[in-house]
Structure formats: C-alpha cells, structure tokens
Structure 1
Amino acid sequence: MKRIYQRLKFSALLFIIAAKFSFACVIILLASSFASYSQELVFKNPTLVSGSAGQNNAVYRFPKVTSAVDALLKVKKRSANNVVIQNIDVTDFGWNKAFQPQIGISGGIVSGIKDWWVEFEISFVKTGTSDEADVSEFNLTSLDVDGDNLTIREYVELYDAASYYFEGGTELVHSAINDEDEDDDDDEPKKKNYRFLGPIKNYLDIDTLGTRVMVTSKFVKKDKIKFRIGARAVGLGSSNAAIRYNSLWFRSFSYVSGTFLPVKLTSFTVKSVEKNKIALNWNTAQEKNSSHFTIEKSLNGKDFSDAGIIFSMGNSEQPQQYSFTDVLRTGEQGLIYYRLKMVDIDGQSQYSPIKVIRIGEEKANASVLVYPNPVANELRITLPSTWHDKKVTIDIYTTNGILAKRFVTNNASQTETINVRALTPGSYMIRSSNGSDTTSQQIIKTN
C-alpha cells in the first residue's frame, strides 16, 4: 500500500508542474482518498473515559483509529466474577497496532473443565466526540487463537460480520452461535455469528505467520461491533496458563487456499410428523461453493452419526429451502439430537446449532417439561402437542420478578432450547404461554 501511494503522489507532483494547479489538486485528492479507503484501523494509546478499569461497563477511547474516527471500547460483561482483564491493551508483546487484551481466570490457574470469556463492544465515533461515525468497510483478524499444550483452548466469538475468511488447513473449529442479546426465536440467527475455537497446541508468540490459528472477519458500514474473547479448559488436569494473551488486528491477511464459510443458515427446525418420523426443515439466505448438507443424529448429545445427505444449490444469493425426513429405528426414544454439517466443495465444513426433540408416548394433557434442572448452559423446554406450530412465549424471571430473558417463537417446535449461560447463578421462574394456557416452573442456574 505504501509503494502504491508513493507512486500516485509522485505522479500527482509531476502533473502539478505540467498542468494547471486546480486540476492537479484533484489528482492529489484521489491518491489520498485511495490510501484512506484501504488503510487498517490502528488501536493504540487507550484512555479510560468512564467506569472502573477492567470492570464491566468500563469504556476506553482509542484515538484516531483512522484519521477522523475514534473507537470507544466498552467492557460489556463476562462469564463469571473471577474472570479478569489483567491488561486492556498489551504493548510490550505482539503487535503495537492491534487490540491486545490480556484476559483469564484470577490467579492464572484453572483445574478441570471450565469456560470463561469477556464480551466487548466497539463504537466508532468522530474524533474527539461521541457522535456516531460509520466505517465503510474494515477487516478484523484474530491472531494466535491457540492453546497451552495441556488443556486450554482459546476462542473468539464474532457477531454480524459480512463474511469470514481463514486458512484452507485451519486448526480452528468454527460453529454458528446465537446472540444472547437478541430475542430468541425458533430460527437460527439471521446474522452471521460464529465461534472460532483454537487447538490445544501452542503456537510460539503472536506471529502473523501462524495463519492456521487466524481468522479474518469483514465488516461493512458499521458504527458498532461486538465480540467475545474467551478460552476453555477441556481436560481433567490443571494449568497455570489461564491468563491468556489475545490479539485482534484490524486489517486483512493472505491465507494459503483461503476459505469463506459457504452457507448462511437462517432457520433450522425439527418436529415429529408421525409416530416414527422426524421432519427437519432449514433455510439458507446465501450459499458460496456449497456442496451438501449432512444430517447428523445423536442419542446422547455427544456422539453423532450420519442420518442422511441433501445436496445443496452450490452458489446462490437467493433464499433456499431444504427438508429431510428421518425414519426412527426401533429403540430410538427419549431425547434425540440433530445438527447439520454444511460442507463446501473443498471439503471445509461448519456445524449448525444442535436441535433437540423428545420422542415417547405423550398424554393428552401433557404439561410443559423443563430440563435439565439445575442447568448451566442450555435449558430445554418440551411443549405439549397442542402448542406445536403456534406462537409461544417463554419468560425467565428472577426471584424478584425481574424479566431476565425472553424467548418468542411464532412456530413452536416440540422441544425448544434456550441459552442461559449468561444468567447469574441462582433461582429463576420459567413462565411459558401459548396465548391461552400458561405454566410455571422453577429452575436453578449454576456456573
């Protein structure tokens, strides 16, 4: 970029000598505009403008991420009180122009299976003000999303990007996620929200040559973005590396055999249509080099096997509808889990969120079932057959009567899943209604 700008600037200078001053100024402005459009966003020298440093609701100003734009970084929330921001922006390690928070478990030691994260929000404003400023287009590259060689795997969750791009031989595992800040419904998120989970393997330093543990997200016409930085311990042992260095560089990178995520899934529903038949329906908003969908099924929520394959449209900017009927075998009862594996023509794949259905004899006046209880992450609610395909509202209230979360679907499935990971541990009341009938159950939320 620097060499291109220098050539344009030199050409403009020659034109000034050879032609009229006013016309030459146009050439100079064009050169300057071209350089500005392609520049990265620079995150340096943050100052705390409100709140307590490192705590929820703290706001930091990063001055002049572009020549006319500042970035206001807000610490929105974290997974638990023992999750700490040790340094909001590390400068003696990694890359000076990147946003580099140091995050982890207080004390730096983690044992057993745990998951932790901090959620950030960045608002773009005009320099020195709080006035909104759209940035027409920019890239955000997550660097060094790796592990500690023992038990820890880092991850980043990115919300509502226009696209994502990563190495063909990436070591990152990507999966679609729901946005907890939006009202839930029976469809998958219409925005592109993904988690990229790194390997246990540790890559040396924060190196831009480590492209197998990097992912670039592209944002278009945004004045605000949201993302989470986290990690999980996946083994039974302990690690003293639970304070992690993280690096998000707001620029693009080149990848070997780079791959775009092939499919934008907008809905995925599962329902029982006959005694031994399950109907799966899903819609896509766009497809890029998509090959097929593999329908995967599990009886325990962990071990999945192939139930069928549906070939996709391939390339499309128009909405597409797909369906598959799974005929249950003898003995397949209780909870059955389904997910879609979306595969592109290069063999790269991504998974949909998991859908759950309960199979078994149902009494005519069956009640609403809420489980597991206690619950840590996902709450499942099985509805009576008379509630299916209707509008259902499920509210979660604190013991003080405050609405903590609302789930609304206009086309209820047999079993709905609500992510309650962000709720504070404690006792809650679940109120389910189909407009005419209402039920209430109490649950306990744990860490």
Structure 2
Amino acid sequence: MMTMKTNGTLKTLTILFLFLVCFEAKIFSQPEYYFVNSSLVSGTDKSVGALYRFPLVKAGVDATVLINYISPNISIQDFDDNRNGGFDEAFQPRIRAAGKTAGYVEFVITFVQTGTNIPMPQSEIPATSIDVDGTLNKTDTMLEFDEYLTPGAYFLDYDLISTDIRYTYNTGRVMGKNFRGQEKALIDTMAMEAMFTVVYPNASSITVRIGLDNQLTNNTVRQRSVYFKRFRFTNSFLPLNNLVSFAGNRNRNGESVLNWQLRAGHEYATAIVEKSTDGVSFSPAGNLGMSNKNSAAFTDMASKNSAAYYRLRMVDKSGKSSLSAVLYMRSPNMQASGKLNVYPSIVNDNTNISFSADNTGNVSISLFDHSGRMILNKQMMVQSGTNTINLNGLNKFNNGQYVLVVNENGNRYARQLQLAY
C-alpha cells in the first residue's frame, strides 16, 4: 500500500512536472503581438505613402504600418501574406526584386491606442527577423537582409556560434544580411541560424528595411517575416536565466543612464559596464557590486550628448563572466538617418523638413490626410545635399494623422506626422 502510494505520488509529481515544463514553454512560445486582418487606411495599395492598420495586435493596441520608401526595381507583391507559410501573427510582406538589383522596402510600424492614431509606448518592442536566407551558386547569388533604424536605445540578440547572418553597425541603424546563401525549406523559428532580434525599450514605433540583394539574372519574389516576440537563442548574448532587462535613457544633462534588472537568487558578484564608440572595441566604464541586489543603475558622466555602445559583463562569485546584449545610445544632437526627416513630428502650426537631395532641381512636397486625399502640394527648388524646408500654416487642417511625401524624380519618400493643437 505504501509502495503503491509512493509510486502514485511519484507519478503525480512527474505528470505535474511535465505539465509545468510544457506550460512554461507554452507561455514563452506565445507571440507578444498578433499581426492579422490588416486593412488599407489611406494611399495607394503597396505604394509609397500607403498606410495600413492591424487591429488589436494586443489588448487595447492597434498597429499602423506606413510604406515609407521603395527602392528602384523593388516592389511589393503582397503587403501581408499569411497564405504561403510562416506565421499568422507575424508581419509577412512578399517582396519582388528585378534581376541584378539590390534594394529594400522601408516600413514604419507604430503602436497606437485602439481605434485612434495616438501613439502608445510599449515597455519594449521585440522585432525578430525570421528566415533571413538566400541562394548561392558559382556565378550568381540572392541574399536577404533586414535593416533596423535605431533612433534611440536598442539591443541586438542572435546565436553567437551558429549563424548564417553577418551584422553591420552604422550610425542610427543595424543590418543583418545572410552570407551563406543556404535556402531554408520553410519560414521556421527552429532555424535560429537565420534569425535575429532587435529589441527597442520604451518605444511606440520602429522602422525596418526589408530587403533583397538579388544578383540572379531573373526576377525573384521572397516572402519575408518579422515576428514581434523574443526568442531564446542557443548561444545568446543575453544570459537569459538571470538578466531580466537592460535599458537606457538620457537625463536632463544629456548623460547616458543605464538600468538593469536580475532575477532573484542570481549569483553575480559584480557588473562591469563596458563602453564602445564603434560597437566593436569595448573598454570598462565602471563597475557595481551586485551581491544581494536584483537591480542597479549606472550614469556615464563622460557620455554627455554623445553616441555610445554599452554592454554588461556580469561576473559571478567564482570569477566566471558572461556578456549581455549591446545597447546603443544615440546622440540627442544626431539627426535621424534617411533621406527624409520631419521634426517635430507632432505639429501645431509648422514643421521642418530635412531632405537629402541627390541633385539640384525641383521636388514636390505633398500632404495626404487619413483618407488618402491630397490636401497640400508645393513645388520646391532644392540643392544637392541636405536641405531644410519650413512648412507652415498647418493649423488650418484638422487634428489627426497625416502622411508627408516628397517626390524627387519619380522616387517618393514619406514620413508620418500628427497635427495636435
């Protein structure tokens, strides 16, 4: 009787343990957001300036997606294709590239309060590029890439040991591009060597360039996928068992303030803050004792108004160390990257347009309302290089969300702005 009871208890505990393991795995595998049932709000479908809405990507939150730019000889075959594999919850455009062409489509994805255009900051936005693969033969290649614009703090995570992706850090952006040219059979989250994650803390919007470097002779169409959740990479930057979060902001003096949180019961004795100006070579900037602490903050007083990369070297009681992901802090004086920028983007009466022109000549500046109706159009002379244009008299229009489009020799560049007065 006792034996049977003991065996029954062990069986019950075993079942309970397996249930808890499966339950934990199920929780972790759930997506952070659901990108389904999109609709065109304004503009021309699959063209620059088109604005779409995904309803209820999470409770109380919609997502709008603006097509901001399309490279020459690149086009969108399907804005969001969930019929041909992949994941319903991911944003999955199908991109077409002509032969011997490299380019991208730039999407601005903004999280807003449901049924409105009011930006809704998220504690973090995890964007994971999936199935970044390609083809490679003796004469021709086709390689996929995704580039994320990084206007503030962010960190990058991927499998450090087994990866098919090469990463390039530039001012204000980070790009992951396939270099092996090994085609994956499906859009599959098990193929982590063809995935990477960019996490934006305390953000309401991200900009991603989904691209193809097609050196094949023929046209190619590729289904791409951005999944808004974190994944556990086998050889991750993040020691996920203990480091819960790592984020940063700037104080009123323009200094970088870093914050991190650890799980209770961790065995770290020291956190060494390492700093870099290029994202490659790091040196110590300070250290803090972490015994009996689950959170800490560090202010880099030497970083006033300057861009820098940071990472944590967590040292346990035995002297073993592990590295966090790299956190990038952009200079507050640095203009956002790209040919077209609008500041401020929340407008009362006037705003400034910064446009980098390829040549001296005329450009057209147009403003479209939420229905896609053009409500303003101006012809302007610009000089080769960066031009600053003041656009005023906007308070005659109703409050709401608008799309500003600059047309330069048939190439269209777009930015969102919001009138609020």
* C-alpha deviation, 1:139, in angstroms: 1.2
Q: 1:310 to 1:72 in 2, by over 3 A?
A: closer
AA at the equivalent of 2:166 = V
Contact kept? 1:104, 1:116, Cα under 8 Å? no
Change (3 A) 1:318 1:62: same
1:45 CA displacement: 0.9
Pick closer, same or farther for the CA change 1:289–1:159 going to 2, 3 Å. farther
Alpha-carbon distance change, 290 to 210 in structure 1, aligned in 2, over 3 angstroms: farther
Q: Does 1:399 align with 2:361?
A: yes
Match for residue 148 of structure 1 among 114, 117, 135: 135
- What is the RMSD computed on CA atoms of the aligned residues? 4.6
What does residue range 299-318 of structure 1 map to in structure 2 within 5 Å? 312-313=283-284
Alignment of 1:96 onto 2:88? yes
Q: What 5-or-longer segments of structure 2 have no aligned partner?
A: 1-18, 239-246, 248-255, 259-270, 288-297, 304-308, 314-320, 329-337, 340-354, 363-380, 389-405, 411-421
- Contact 1:175–1:194 (CA<8 Å) still a contact in 2? yes
- 1:158 is the counterpart of 2:148: yes
**Larger deviation, residues 55-64 vs 194-203:** 194-203
Q: Give distance in 1, aligned partners of 2:78 and 2:52.
A: 12
> Cα deviations across residues 346-383 of structure 1 (Å, max 9, x unaligned)?
89999x9xxxxxxxxxxxxxxxxxxxxxxxx99xxxxx
Aligned with 1:97: secondary structure?
A: coil
Look up the match of 1:217: 198
Structure 1 residue 311: Cα displacement? 6.6
Q: Deviations over 1:287-336 (max 9, x none)?
A: x98999899xxxxxxxxxxxxx97722777555989xxxxxxxxxxxxxx
TM-score where L is the length of structure 2: 0.53
Q: Could you say what secondary structure the match of 1:212 adopts?
A: helix
Q: Per-residue CA shift, 1:144-191, capped at 9, x if unaligned?
A: 11112340111111122521110012221111124xxxxxxxxxx4xx
Match of 1:171 among 164, 168, 189: 164
Residues 304-343 of structure 1: pairs in structure 2 closer than 5 A: 312-313=283-284, 319=300
**Inter-CA distance 310–61: structure 2 relative to 1 (3 Å threshold):** closer
* Residues 1:71 and 2:60 aligned together: no
In 2 relative to 1, CA 71–395 (structure 1 residues): closer, same or farther, beyond 3 Å? closer
1:195 Cα deviation (Å)?
A: 0.6
Q: What displacement does 1:202 show?
A: 1.4
Counterpart amino acid of residue 173 in structure 1? R
**What amino acid maps onto 1:406 in structure 2?**
T
Which of 176, 179, 203 is 1:196 aligned to? Answer: 176
| Cα 1:221–1:196 shift into 2, 3 Å | same
AA partner of residue 253 (structure 1)? F
User: With structure 1 as the length reference, what TM-score do the two structures score?
Assistant: 0.51
* Corresponding letter in the other structure for 2:208: F
Equivalent positions of 1:369-388 (< 5 A) are none
Q: Secondary structure at the match of 1:133?
A: coil
The answer on 1:248 being equivalent to 2:226 is: yes
Name the aligned partner's letter for residue 194 of structure 2.
V
1:347–1:220 CA distance, 2 compared to 1 (3 A): closer
CA contact (8 A) 1:99 1:248 kept: yes
SS at match of 1:110: coil
Tell me how far apart the structure 2 counterparts of residues 213 and 91 of structure 1 sit (CA, whole Å).
Answer: 20
Alignment-mate amino acid for residue 195 of structure 1: M
> What percentage of residue pairs aligned between the two structures are identical?
26
Sort the Cα spacing of 1:399 and 1:247 in 2 relative to 1 into closer, same or farther, 3 A: same
State the alpha-carbon separation in 2 of the partners of residues 289 and 207 from structure 1.
36
Give the alignment partner of residue 110 of structure 1, picking from 91, 95, 99.
99
SS in 1 for 2:202: strand
Q: 1:230-265 CA distances to partner (integer Å, 9 max, x unpaired)?
A: 0213x5xx24462111000101111111126xxx9x
- How far has the Cα of 1:40 moved from its partner? 0.7
Q: Does 2:107 correspond to 1:120?
A: yes
Correspondences of 1:220-369 after superposition (within 5 Å): 220-233=201-214, 238-240=216-218, 242-259=220-237, 312-313=283-284, 319=300
For residues 157 and 147 of structure 1, the distance between their equivalents in structure 2, rounded to whole angstroms, comes to 16
Q: Is the 8 A contact 2:285 2:300 kept in 1?
A: no
Equivalent residues of 1:45, 1:62 under 8 A apart: yes
CA distance in 1, matches of 2:275, 2:165: 21
The reply to whether residue 49 of structure 1 matches residue 41 of structure 2 is yes
Distance 1:7 1:346 in 2: 28
Relative distance call for 1:67 and 1:152 in structure 2 (3 A) is: same
| Equivalent residue letter for 1:110 | G
1:174–1:194 contact (8 Å) kept in structure 2: yes
Q: Distance in 2 between matches of 1:140 and 1:310?
A: 26
Q: Counterpart of 2:104 in 1: which secondary structure?
A: strand
Indicate if the aligned counterparts of 1:404 and 1:423 stay in contact, CA closer than 8 A: no
Matched, 1:205 2:186: yes
Give per-residue Cα distances to partners, 1:416-447, cap 9 Å, x unaligned. Answer: xxxxxx99579xxxxxxxxxxxxxxxxxxxxx
Aligned residue identity for 2:147? E
